[in-house]
Structures are given as C-alpha cells and as structure tokens.
Structure 1
Amino acid sequence: MSWRVANLCAERRFGSPVRKQIIMFLADKASDDGSGIWCSKGTIARHTELGDTTVKRAISEFLAEGILVETGRRPCVNGYTAIYRIDLDAVGLLETISDPDLGTGSRADGVRSGPGRGASVDGVPGPERTPNHPKTIQKPPTRAETREEAAEAPELARVWAAYPADRRRDRTTCLRRMREALAEVSPDELLAAVRAYAAESEGFTRSKVSFSDNWLRDGKWRRYVEELRRRKAEAEAAAEKQLVQVAAWVKARHGMCKHVTEAQVASAMERGLLLRQDAQAAGFMR
C-alpha cells in the first residue's frame, strides 16, 4: 500500500464515481512508484461491489488513456493475472478537486488568534497568559527607535517583524547582519528562512531557541535557504518533465490529450518542445 499514490489519486478527478472507486482500489495495492499492482478484475469487482463488465470497461479506458500501464503477467489458477502500474505523471496532469483559495477557513501559518485552552492537536501548549496581561504588554517604542525603523529598508523591516517577538534582540546588530546576508541571498529568501525557522521552533522552550542576533551571526538562515532553493529546483524540474510528457502526447495524439490544457501546450511551444503544426494537428491552438 502506498499513501503517496493514494493521496495523489484522491486529489484528482477521474470522470466518474466508478472510475474513482476503481483507481483508489488499485492505488491501495501499488508501491510508491505506482508499480506492483497485481489483482484480477474479478477481485476488483468483488471488493468494490461493481459489476465485472463495469470493471473491465474502466480498466480498458485507463489503459487507453495511459493512466494504467500493463507491465507483465503472472500465472494463476484461471490462467494469468495482469500486473499494472499507475502512471503518476499521467495522474498528475488530471484536474484537481481542490477548491480555490478564497482566503477563508483555517490559517495557513497556523498562528493562534488567542491564548490556548487545554490540550492542543500538536501537543504544544498555548500561552500561559492572556494577551492583555501586564507582563505581556509590549513597551511602546521610543522616538529614536521609531525614526530608525522608518529609515531602514522596508524588506529588512519585514524580516525583523517575522522573527518571533520574544526572541528579538539587539536590533541595530541584527539589521547590520541582515545587510551582510543580502550579499548571498535575496530579501525574499531571507524572509522565507526566518518564517520557516519561526514555524519550526514554535512552542520550543526558551533554552532551545536562538535569539535574533545569534541566529543571524551564525548564519543559521543558510540551511533554510538551501532547502528553499532545492525545493524550487525540484519543482522546476518536475514542471519541465511534465511539459516534455505533454509535448510527447500531443505529437502522438495520445489519448491523454483530452486532459491536456491549452496553457500547457502554449508553454511547451514556448520552450521549443512542440511545433505549432503538431499542436494544431492534435486539435489545439486553432
């Protein structure tokens, strides 16, 4: 069983409840790369409580569309059973079922709007005091501090504000360290590193966190920036691989073309992976 394949299939539209039910059953039998699915159509029909003809028709459609690939056969008492692999690239191109982000619902950053009460899901207790407790009221800034904040670069002010308030220390030194860091990273990367560290260390005791001046002095932001760049490179590589697959499907007029969008075709043409006449021959770019 692969949660990775099951989650990927669960987030995509397959055209009908029957097709979705069958692909989810197959995903439950797959390895992380989508391979190793060995179950007969009778087994699928028995476990999904669908008719044999329905299962056979859906499997044939999946094979024609490239969502399923037959990789071999295995002997059994009734002859043989086909071995299938779910093509993760093909599934990844299907329309997602996610609702658009309208800015409502739960907060993405997981920040609590008030003090915690009782046990929490992640096991991290809430604040000991309410926000208006005398010991938690922040001292207003002096006029000199206000002038300094107005004079500093807006991007550095955002980085400073993103660092957990209870760990900020020596503002002047921190601003200098930030300017030094900008020789290696962009302001957005530094801001993302601070936010990542804040999320990672939320709920840590005071003895296990880094104050802002030490965190910047030791260059602890580098680990988060490297991870950010690695993920970005992986996303770009995956997008490039997807465009190559789209171009191949369009050139061959593959059954998966019905899941390809005009925007994907246009992107493939911009990258030089597809000619306009090939796109037009497959029914795109009219």
Structure 2
Amino acid sequence: MSWKVANLCAQRKFGSPVRKQIIMFLADKASDDGSGIWCSKGTIQRHTELGETTVKRTINEFLHESILIETGRRACKNGFTIVYRIILSAVGRLDSIAEPEDETGSTADGVLREPGTGSGADPVPRPQRPPNHPETIPKPPTRAGARTAAAEVQKIWDEYPQDRRRDEASCLNWIEVAIREVGEADLRAAVRAYAEETAGFTRSKVSFSDNWFRAQKWRGYVAAVREKAEAEAARLDAHLDRVAEWVKSRSELCRHLSLTQVQLAIAKGLVTAEEAEAAGFRDNKTHV
C-alpha cells in the first residue's frame, strides 16, 4: 500500500463514486510511484462488490484516459494477470476536491455570553483544524525538478516525426514513464534512430506515436543505441591503450598523436604527465 498514491487519488475528482472506489482500491495496491498493481478484474469485483461489466468498463476508461497503463503480465492459475500502473501526473491534473478558503464574512461566532465570567481565552491549546480536515492529511511531496522533467518529456515528443504524432496527452504520459526507466538521453536517441530508419516510408509502413510509445517499441532502439555506445567506448579504450603504449615507449608513432588524445590517456590514468612530457607533449602544444 502507498499512502502517497492513495492520498493523491483521495483528493482528486474522478467523475463518479464507482470510478473513485475502483481507483482507491488500485491505489491501495500500488507502490509510491504508482507501479506494481497486480490484481485481476475479478479481485477488484469481489473487493468492491461492483458488477463485472462495471469494473471492466471503468478499467478501460482509465486506460483510455491514460490514468492507468499496462506495464506487463504475471502468470497465475487462470493464465495471466495484467500489471497496472497509476500515472501520478495524470491524476494530479484532475480537479481537486478541496473547497477554496472562505475569507469573507464576519469572524464573530454570534454566541452571546454572560458578562463578567472571566477571560474568554481558551487555556487549553487546540489544533486549528480538526484531525479529519483535508489539510491535515499528509500530502505526497512534490517531485523535485518537475519543470525540468516536463521539458525533457516535451523534447522527446518534439523529436518524433511530426506527420506521425497522435494523441499527445497519452504519449506524454507514456514518455514520462519511459524516461524514468531508461533516461532522457537514451530515449531521445532511440526516437531519432527510429525517425532516421523510417524516413521516407509511407504512412502505412510506419507507427503512429500513440502506438509506438504505448507498445514500448522504443526498447529495441534503446538496446541498439546502448550497444553502439558500448562498442564506441570499447574502440576508444583500445585506442587509448595504444596511445599510452606509444607514449611510454616514445615511439615514432607519437608523431601521429594529438595532444587531446594524450590528455585523454592521462585522464584515464594510462600514462603520467611526466611520461607525456618526456615524449614531447606539453600543455598548449601538439607534438611535431
């Protein structure tokens, strides 16, 4: 159970008692980030005492509105159970149940009191609000850097080919989930790789953004991007090993090296600054 998710859902309007009841049951099963909700529609039906059709319809509504997404499946005795995730940012955009503070009118309580009965001050300190007032319920902390995160999500959306964009609101939610898993840089590189690979394809041969992000088709491209980066890093490491070997031995091949390459080898601890200087490399100069 996550009180953070439950409290967030409790303070938002979902449009009907049935929708509120189901989302609160799901929130009770969620982790603090809204993930890990593993319960079948039959389980929801038994615990909420709602009809099977009602539960299925409401879950489908949440999925369509991107309040809920499917993140996987887990085996069970009847086959498999879908794992859900509540999108906290989508819930946060719903209307709040809180009423605005009423600052108008008289502050007097209108109760007449007998004169001369002593001080009217209450000697016992009391809370300003009763314990069940909405503002006394702990609220989930706001995420640090929310504006930065929103900007990263928007950048990914802007990278997707414009003629294939569809259902922006849902895509932004799916992008936010993907960024938390693989990072903004890798996801952006994956979108670019897909755009370059399918450039010039007809609309019947490409995937629209809502299908691409919902089905997590970026996973294969992220894997390819990371594999390429690892291969390039391995090639660079091998090259710097050769640079260090040439510098240490003061080989004639040093004439083919730049000061930048030698500085990289020094930074990685492959050679020392003294060894580089002895081979003819000095600051602000390239070897001739």
TM (norm. structure 1) is 0.44
Greater C-alpha radius of gyration:
2
